[in-house]
Amino acid sequence: MATHEQTSPLDVAVLREEFPVLGRHVGGDVTAPGEGADDDQPLVYLDNAATSQTPRAVVEAMTDYYYSYNANVHRGIHHLSQEASVAYEEAHDRVAEFIGADGREEIVFTKNTTEAENLIAYAWGLEELGPGDKVVMTQMEHHASLVTWQQIAKRTGADVEYIRVTEDGHLDMDHAREAIDENTQMVSFVHISNALGTVNPVEELVDQAHEVGAYAFVDGAQSVPNRSVDVGAMDADFFSFSGHKLCGPTGIGVLYGKAEILEEIQPYLYGGDMIRSVTYEDSTWEELPWKFEAGTPPIAEAVGLTAALDFLDDVGMERIQAHEEALTAYAYDRLTEFDDVTVYGPPGDNRGGLVGFNLEGVHAHDLSSICNDHAVAIRAGDHCTQPLHDTLGAAASARASFYLYNTRDEVDALVEAVDNARQLFA
């Protein structure tokens, strides 16, 4: 087993104080939201790839919005509306700065990563794809990408091809070079797999797409929370992520798109706030990014997202990545000590902050339930990657995912729970 330093670049004990939920004890029957037996065990939250916890700073920022300047944006000249509009527009600026975009024009707020993918698929894909065209994805795609482009292809007559995944959980880049050909119009792929933890070669895939004149869409839902991302450097045409996976609120996601491309694409949703002028016969659209943000937008959520990005920057993205990678490597080593545990994906020192695994003879849902008995929160299922699990020959898998506030002791608690399951089903 490899050894990993027990010291962390983060002061995790201090960070955990910013997340009140991490102080909970859980167990027993839940009778109402937030309630349950508090006489059992300390919560070990290892489901961060699904949703991270929220620090006080984010909650306080959103509370301040509701208490101090709650109003709709872009629609009033009164003081509260102006304050809300400034905060909302500056949230776009903050996101652009955080991911290396050129400005707010390239940042569209959506509900989540899934809606961002759908926006481009419907606004661009339905208009531009046709018979003979091809969309290339990977076998490790989240349903947010896979199902969306699959259905657009059915409607347009385009073809879909999937880059194969190797036995060690990496993309077969030789196959990628074959799949991405002159018929390819879009290459859509995850930055980090939410099931395997694989960190994909983004720049190489983007370059391959551009060499044949195709666009590249990167799903950054699992990367933006834990590492520095520069969409300009990677040269992605589109990039998406969700607020609730990076200490932010639910209900807000981000679509990045190169301004020159977004200018040419027609809106996906129509209605208020995205129009410049309207007659009974026709309408014209507002400037970027507002032409893609119809109706009342997620104002409070944008305020919360800004606070979340400030929080992460204060902690330091490089330190977050180093801490998460060390925890993941430690978890990989501990779990692979068991001969009857299969861990999916690359080696422990070459992956994102999650470990997907199965215990021989135990369904992932049963394993998750036993972990829950130990107050260890993990996820079980196909993780919105059903075709990938079919390829792996697994109906489901368990997944432990880590973040800046997790500890080695919590990894040990996970391993203890898995060992308990081994003994129960022996």
- Residue among 4, 131, 91, 150 nearest 301 (CA): 91
Q: What angle do CA 143, 187, 141 make, to 5 degrees?
A: 25
Contact 136, 215 (CB under 8 A): no
According to DSSP, residue 123 is labeled I
Question: What's the Rg (C-alpha) of the chain?
Answer: 22
* Secondary element (H or E) of residue 276: strand 275-278
| Residue 237: both structure tokens together | 């045409």
Residues 6+ apart with CB under 8 A from 178: none
* Candidates 71, 384, 394, 395; catalytic one: 384
154 exposed, middle or buried (CB, 10 Å; 0-12, 13-18, 19+)?
A: exposed
Task: Give dist(CA 244, CA 222) in Å, integer.
Answer: 11
Strand partners, 138: 163
CA-closest candidate to residue 422, choices 377, 357, 375, 378: 357
Q: 3-state class of 322 per DSSP?
A: helix
At 129 the three-state DSSP class reads coil
Between the alpha carbon of residue 362 and those of residues 36, 51, 176, 396, the distances in Å are 27, 25, 35, 11
Residue 384 annotated in active site: yes
Region for residue 67 given its phi and psi (left: phi exceeds 0; alpha: psi -120 to 50; beta: otherwise):
alpha
The helix/strand/coil state of 413 is helix
Contact criterion met (CB below 8 Å) for 175 and 169: no
DSSP 286: P
Structure tokens at 100: 């290396």
The DSSP code for 240 is: E
Pairing of strands 376-377, 379-381: unpaired
Catalytic positions: 384
